[in-house]
Amino acid sequence: MPRSPSDEATALHPTDESLAPAAPRDDAAALRLAVDALSPVMPIETTDDFAGAQWTKLLVNHVNALPAITGLSVQQTIADPRLRAVLLASMKETIGIARAKGVHFAPVQGLDDRLLRFVQRAPRILAQLVPRAMARRMGSTPNPGSTLQSIRRGQLTEIDHLNGAVVVAAATLSRPAPVNATLVTLVHAVEHDHRFRTPTEVTAALHSRR
């Protein structure tokens, strides 16, 4: 079956759970066996809207870029008002692009279509409650995120398939995605020179692109 444009423009990179498309009736028993086998080692969700789930998961994974750029944990980046504003701006930008492509966000890890539409429309003082809640769900143990873990191992990151996927999707609409593009550029810069950026440097880079 051909992939939809939204499928091609996004990549699913699970962090602490996996998503599986709901199976046709003939395959439902096999899917149930797979879910039962994997559930003891990782949380599993099934969905009837795989493209919508991919986009929601992409937004969940937006927390990865700033730790990779700054060397801080996810919780620390969200606690910093400057970095939280950058994260929120990247989420708003992504939601707008996804909606322009006709995406309906499927529920994933506490995010769903109604909540994400609220994030896009609400003023920052209210919308920032969502990333704050995402940080609380992670608990008190510092979470570096998968992208920072790759940086620490000296490996290339998956950023082109995360925020970079948003930039690609925006291009198919002839729209810019300056926030996500800046985050991609900064992650690649850290990959290259192994120097973490300060929150001030992050915001300065963002303002120079907008």
CATH number of residue 74's parent domain: 1.10.1040.10
Domain interval for residue 167? 49-209
* pLDDT tier, 14 (very low <50, low <70, confident <90, very high otherwise): very low
Do 31 and 74 reside in the same domain of the chain?
no
Please check whether residue 42 lies inside any domain of the structure. Answer: yes
Do 43 and 115 reside in the same domain of the chain?
no
Helix residue spans in the chain (DSSP H) = 5-9, 28-38, 50-60, 65-70, 74-79, 81-100, 113-121, 124-127, 129-137, 145-152, 163-172, 178-193, 199-209
- Show which of 48, 63, 90 is a domain's final residue: 48
Do 71 and 158 reside in the same domain of the chain?
yes
pTM: 0.78
pLDDT digits 0-9 by tens, 35-53: 566 556 555 455 556 689 9
pLDDT of res. 13: 42
Query: Residue 195 — φ and ψ, nearest 5°?
Result: -120, 120
- Give Cα separations from 116 to 88, 105, 194 (angstroms): 11, 8, 34
* pLDDT tier, 209 (very low <50, low <70, confident <90, very high otherwise): confident
Please check whether residue 180 lies inside any domain of the structure. Answer: yes
Do 108 and 160 reside in the same domain of the chain?
yes
pLDDT digits 0-9 by tens, 160-204: 999 999 999 999 999 999 999 999 999 999 999 999 999 999 999
Handedness of CA 129, 73, 166, 178 (dihedral sign): positive
pLDDT of res. 8: 37
Do 149 and 91 reside in the same domain of the chain?
yes
Pair 158, 3: CB distance under 8 Å:
no
11 CB neighbour count, 10 Å cutoff: 17
Do 38 and 113 reside in the same domain of the chain?
no
Question: How many domains is the chain partitioned into structurally?
Answer: 2
Pair 77, 70: CB distance under 8 Å:
yes
Do 65 and 156 reside in the same domain of the chain?
yes
Please check whether residue 158 lies inside any domain of the structure. Answer: yes
Do 137 and 153 reside in the same domain of the chain?
yes
| Residue owning tokens 């989420």 | 91
Please check whether residue 171 lies inside any domain of the structure. Answer: yes
* pLDDT tier, 158 (very low <50, low <70, confident <90, very high otherwise): very high
Q: What is the mean pLDDT of the chain?
A: 86
Do 37 and 90 reside in the same domain of the chain?
no
Q: For a pLDDT cut of 90, what percent of the chain falls above it? A: 74
Do 123 and 181 reside in the same domain of the chain?
yes
Do 33 and 102 reside in the same domain of the chain?
no
Do 44 and 74 reside in the same domain of the chain?
no
Please check whether residue 5 lies inside any domain of the structure. Answer: no
